[in-house]
Amino acid sequence: MEFVDILILSNGPGELTTWVRPVVEALRKQLGNQSEKVRISLMLSPCPHATGKEVAIANSYREIDRVQSADYFWQFLLSGKTAENWDWFSRGAVVFLGGDQFFTVIAAKRLGYRSVIYAEWDARWWRWVDGFGAMNGKVIEGIPNEYSAKFRIVGDLMADVQLRKNQGLGWEFLGDRNIELIGLLPGSKPAKLAQGVPLTLAIAEYLYQKRPQTCFMIPVAPTLELSTLAKFADSKFNPVLSQIGDFQASLHYSNPPYFQLASGLKIYLCTETPAYGLLSQCRLCLTTVGANTAELGSLGVPMIVLLPTQQLDAMRAWDGIPGLLANLPLAGSLFAKMINWIVLQQKRRFAWPNIWAKTEIVPELVGKLDAKTIAELALDYLENPEKLQQMRDRLVQVRGQPGAAEKLAKIVLEQVL
């Protein structure tokens, strides 16, 4: 076997965690003793959801040999030069796992490599791409028969979360495996954390007064420092706090670390990633919108999805042109208010399980949210476990079958071996 390069194109933190990680693990697993002859590179493209720590996350994946940040992406696309002057083997493949599918076409042509695209919702550039792994049959509807041989249904990469649910931090610090655990997922970027942290902490405080046996935990995104997270629970740093509740949380660096409120409530911070082991044991999760709703849905974990708009200009994590406009200097705040107002009028679905099912499986609460009202809804679920079980059953029904990463890896290797 000759030496082979596999170049993966991706962009945001969600794609790195839920797409790139399982695929590179599957590639190495299938290569077996031939793995040393295959070099896996990751190239990041610009993303409005980027946190600046994507390179560090990717470098933590031992299956990846080299990583280039988004800062040099356009340089590579236009000239073929990388920041560190990477060399390339004569044979290889470019794999799309986030960003713009057209980047795959350009990169593959520049390197003279084969090309593979994971098509979650739609497939583009099928004339010039060598292989597609489609999430489902809807992706390939309307594809001309002459190109149908390029497509193979692999399933939902998000569903591979189910295969990893036993990974992550254990229960040692909780002491009692039968404890009622609630997960709080306020987000990972400032736009979400500014509202999500005070809101979820206020909800936890109310629930704690009603159900002191309940334990709370926050799975901390790998891109987020604990000290940064703590700032959003400090009124001196986060002005949104005063709009939601009169409280502050102090950060304690123990093992595990935790937030403590004046009431005595401790909210544990899980810094191990992925935290699927703990999340899969949660009775209920309170979460912001994003890839986390897909992960929870794939784990079959009941959730209440929150999109607070206490500050209309605070929510700027939209995709595409809206996200770029909302993050412009000076005018960004005005654009954010306009975009968010329009989105609220559309009454669209934000949680992935609801998008998949085309109906509301998990409750989505959008607007100027009140912590007590949300806590009462959570209490209703906790006190009526049959409602939680119904939600759990529906989540299991709509999530895709696991194994997509293995199937996609096979398609990639067929192109180069």
pLDDT digits (tens, 9 = 90+) for 121-163: 899 999 999 999 998 888 898 899 899 999 999 988 887 776 6
Q: CA angle at residue 259 from 61 to 228, to 5 degrees? A: 55
- Please identify every stretch of the chain with a pLDDT value under 70, giving residue numbers as ranges: 162-178, 310-348, 400
% residues pLDDT > 90 (the chain): 54
Phi, psi values for residue 156, rounded to 5°: -100, 120
Could you name the CATH architecture of 4-156+401-416? 3-Layer(aba) Sandwich (3.40)
CA dist 51 and 15 (Å) reads 13
SS3 354: helix
Give the mean pLDDT of the chain: 86
At residue 255, the pLDDT reads 84
Residue 39 bridge partners (DSSP): 5
Q: How many of the other CB atoms lie within 10 Å of CB of 57?
A: 20
Contacts of 390 (CB under 8 A, 6+ apart): none
Write down the CATH number for the domain with range 180-398.
3.40.50.2000
At residue 278, the pLDDT reads 86
Annotated domain spans of the chain: 4-156+401-416, 180-398
Contacts of 109 (CB under 8 A, 6+ apart): 128
pTM: 0.73
Phi, psi values for residue 248, rounded to 5°: -140, 155
Q: CA angle at residue 274 from 27 to 389, to 5 degrees? A: 110
At residue 308, the pLDDT reads 81
Contacts of 342 (CB under 8 A, 6+ apart): none
Q: How many of the other CB atoms lie within 10 Å of CB of 93?
A: 26
In this structure, are residues 416 and 4 in contact, taking their beta carbons and an 8 Å threshold? yes
CA dist 331 and 338 (Å) reads 11
At residue 169, the pLDDT reads 47
Domains 4-156+401-416 and 180-398 agree in fold: yes
In this structure, are residues 310 and 202 in contact, taking their beta carbons and an 8 Å threshold? no
% residues pLDDT > 70 (the chain): 86
Give the strand order in the sheet containing 364-367.
249-252, 258-261, 266-270, 214-219, 180-185, 284-288, 303-308, 364-367
Q: Which residue, chain included where needed, has tokens 């936890």? A: 204
